[in-house]
Amino acid sequence: MHGSVIQIRLILVAALSLMVALAAWGVPRVHAAAPHQGTGMEDAAVLAAAGVGGHLAPDEQTWYRYYPSGASLNRTDAVTLIFKPAVQLGAEAMYAGFQIFSPRQVTSGQDVDTLAPIGVGTRVSRDGDPDTAEYLWQGVLPGADPYYVRVYNHTSLGIDFWLFPDDVVHLVIPESPSETEPGAEGTPVAAVSDIEEDFPWDGAAIGHLEVGQKAWYRWGAPGEIGKRREYAFTLFFMPGNTVFADRVKFELLTEAQRQARQSGNVLANTGAGAIVSRDGDPVTGERFWHGHLIAGEAFLLHIANDSDVPIDYWLLQGDIERLELEKYATPTPTPTLTP
């Protein structure tokens, strides 16, 4: 009987030793090595709707801010990572991938390497290309604050990667336009920058937008801080006939909503101006918004010219039924930027 107990103990010790050895050597895992290059959380770029790409050397990582839109659109969020060269990496490709962390995790002050990610890319194979490795995560992430995606490479080779805030089956790499592509007369094409300014204290922003150009005005809701108040904005623009009046947009957004736009949630906003016609002038277009906001909060007033012609605009704080041009300065175009 005593010999049997000793034999059982020896078997248990051997089994435990084997389990420890397997855990140390035989189970694939991500090594929490500090990157010697790459982008840290504090410099994380936005994971744009069109996707992002880059190169990671061995033991390098990079971070992206991800604004999910699934909860607001009643659908599942997804993130896809595709990288090369899978053929050369072979089984080692399992040591590259991505993880998703919550805003609370990255702002907690703890070492993220010690925290369990809330999402991890799972290996899939769908595009039919043997030289690409594919990882997919699907789920729903609530809230308007950004989540953080860490792309890491713990293989022995450098990888080229593409990361998308969507379920992407086939990798499509867009062609980069030539930086010196000539225009019709052989001269560089002029670019027009978007307008980024504070909303004037007198409650009237006046300007000119070329086709496709946008204006962003930083505005703080006035009044006793923390109190809910009613506000209104009226946008007039010329020309504004009914053919393209709906292609000139006016919206109020928070900074987080603006970032969500860059991640593909084009519906994110706090309010949008409705088309109205109250001044009796067929040449002007009008949009009007009114609603309740919390005084002291910061917003962005966004005007977008998606029509086929340049426009002049007058964005006025308040419910204004008729534009009195003599009260305001003449709109002037934004200087062009020639590459």
Element containing residue 196 per DSSP (H, E)? strand 195-198
Region 265-287 average pLDDT: 83
pLDDT value of residue 30:
32
Region 192-219 average pLDDT: 88
Q: Verify cis geometry, omega within 30 degrees of 0, for the bond prior to 130.
A: no
Residue 74 binned pLDDT confidence (cut-offs 50, 70, 90): low
Burial status of residue 105 (CB atoms within 10 A of its CB: 0-12, 13-18, 19 or more): middle
- Altogether, the residues listed in the chain come to a count of 339
Beta-carbon count within 10 A of 78 CB = 16
**Which pTM was predicted?**
0.48
Residue 146 binned pLDDT confidence (cut-offs 50, 70, 90): confident
Specify the CATH class of 191-337 in words.
Answer: mainly beta
- What are the φ and ψ backbone dihedral angles of 91, each rounded to 5 degrees? -65, -15
Q: What is the pLDDT of residues 95-115, one digit of tens each?
A: 999 999 988 887 777 777 778
Most confident by average pLDDT, 19-33, 71-85, 159-173, 205-219:
205-219
Sorted by where each begins, the domain ranges of the chain are: 41-164, 191-337
Q: What DSSP assignment string belongs to 164-184?
A: ESS--SS---PPPPPTT-B-T
Residue 1 binned pLDDT confidence (cut-offs 50, 70, 90): low
Of 42-56, 190-204, 253-267, the poorest mean pLDDT is in: 253-267
> What topology does CATH give the domain 41-164?
Jelly Rolls (2.60.120)
Collect all residues with Cβ–Cβ distance below 8 Å to 330 and sequence separation of at least 6: none
pLDDT value of residue 176:
39
Region 299-309 average pLDDT: 89
